[in-house]
Amino acid sequence: MRFLLKGGLVIDPQTGLEKEGDIRVAEGKIVEMGMNLAVGDEALIDLQGKIVAPGFIDLHVHLREPGGEAHETIRTGCQAAAAGGFTMIVAMPNTNPCADNEGVIELVKTRAEKTGLVHVLPIGTISKGRAGEEIAEIGSLYQAGAVAVSDDGSCVASGEVMRRALEYTKIFGIPVISHSEDVTLSADGLMHEGKWSTILGLRGIPAQAEEIMVARDIFLAELTGGKLHLAHLSTAGSVALLKFARQRGIMVTAEATPHHLLLTDEEVQSYATSTKVNPPLRSRADVQALQEAVKEGLISCLATDHAPWSEEEKEQEYSKAPSGIVGLETAIPMVWDTLVVKEKMSPLELIARFTTGPAKVLGLEKGCLAVGKEADITIIDPHLKKAVQTSEFYSMGKNTPVDGRVFQGWPVMTIVGGKIVMREGKVKGDIFKDA
């Protein structure tokens, strides 16, 4: 497949490039970049008014397979990623069986390759069986292809186990992704603890349940010199701790999700179970602090924490329904509208959080546009305004509180390894089988 991307605004946070220009793609690579490139015999794609960015990377995706195929499969998850403008996704290991062994890592890799849409990088578990008691065979997981370890979904309660994981991963240079939650404090909590939990009579989860574990993990990163990445930060206190870590020179990175950057606990008042998520939707002050931290780059990654659930699971009483929001197909419009359209961030800053930010966490030579590089490219129409329609989702999970909401700024093309895998919201294999 050879084509010329013509006349788009090319933005590459790696080099600071922000200029109208053309990109020629052939044999899966970027072969030429510049102004007014001559049109050859390849396909011409007119991108006037569009933004051409390095392929977006999502560090935090639950593909559910193996074990949870009623909620999502690797195939539907990859389709959702392509539809949502992501060229690379990182798969969390809390499947059933969980990825605490090479077998599951291999399975995820193989099936993702067969799907042939986006790059899928698997994460291994921190502990055997995600039980938080003994560290998993992280060396074997790494050799099989795990790019990080995480017990996401559960917190490693033992400081000792977390310490060992942060030390042991230094052998391989991969990060430990922490799900920071003191479960003795969050206990049976269902939503953020505050005015709304009181009104609604739902047990609250205080912000401190997260912050206490964030503080612990930051100090363990200082002790060990391990690479710590904090998943789905949701509170102003966590942002303050991150600032503190930065000042002390502790190696720690962090991500925030689109839903935590846009929605507050007030959303829960309808008892819609699509608002049930862990960590929970927080207060307005927390949202504000997160937005600022993302702008400053203190939080260097945006990640979806894409957590699909079947309708049967979510159509239950609020207390019974599982936690999670799908994000792959709404992430870009949600944050583009919230942060760029409302002029809180520049397009370049926002793109960096989806590209150079996550690439750096994993130590990958990805998330940039340059001649000779694999052509992973995300194209955004910054003017396109439309409503989220879960009925159109490729993901099997329709669980999002933003169904029906109108956002401006949508991905319109996803290019992976020089192949167009999504065009105008339609994923390859869906409309253009010849591609």
Partner 1 sequence: MGIKAKDLLTMEQLGREQIKLILHTAKEMKSIIKRDIKKVPTLRGKSVVTLFYEPSTRTRTSFELAGKYMSADVVNINTTASSVMKGESLKDTGLTLQAMGVDLVVVRHSMAGAPAMLGSYLEARVINAGDGFHQHPTQALLDMLTIQEHLGDFQGLKVAIIGDILHSRVARSNLNGLTTMGANVYLCGPATLIPPGLEEQGAKITYNLEEAITGADVIVMLRIQLERQKAGFFPSIREYSQLYGLNKERLALAKKDCLVIHPGPINRGVEISGEVADSLNSYINEQVTNGVAVRMALLYLMLT
- List residues with catalytic annotation: 305
**Nearest distance in Å: CB 70, partner 1:** 15
Instruction: Kindly write down the DSSP assignment for every residue of 192-261, as one continuous string.
Output: ESSHHHHHHT--EE-HHHHHHHHHHHHHHHHHH---EEE-S---HHHHHHHHHHHHHT--EEEEE-HHHH
Interface positions with partner 1 (CB under 8 A): 193-204, 270-271, 312, 315-320
Look up residue 27 and give its two tokens.
Answer: 């044999």
Q: Which is nearer to partner 1, 15 or 198 (CB)?
A: 198
Calpha distance 197→82 (Å, rounded): 37
Calpha distance 386→236 (Å, rounded): 31
Q: Which is nearer to partner 1, 2 or 203 (CB)?
A: 203
**Nearest distance in Å: CB 286, partner 1:** 14
Residues 6+ apart with CB under 8 A from 189: 203, 204, 205, 206, 209, 280
| Burial class, 284, CB count within 10 angstroms (exposed 0-12 / middle 13-18 / buried 19+) | exposed
**Nearest distance in Å: CB 76, partner 1:** 24
Q: Which is nearer to partner 1, 196 or 336 (CB)?
A: 196
**Nearest distance in Å: CB 264, partner 1:** 13
**Nearest distance in Å: CB 198, partner 1:** 4
Residue 63 near residue 73 (C-beta atoms within 8 A)? yes
Side-chain half-sphere of 43: how many Cα atoms within 13 Å?
11
Residue 17 near residue 11 (C-beta atoms within 8 A)? yes
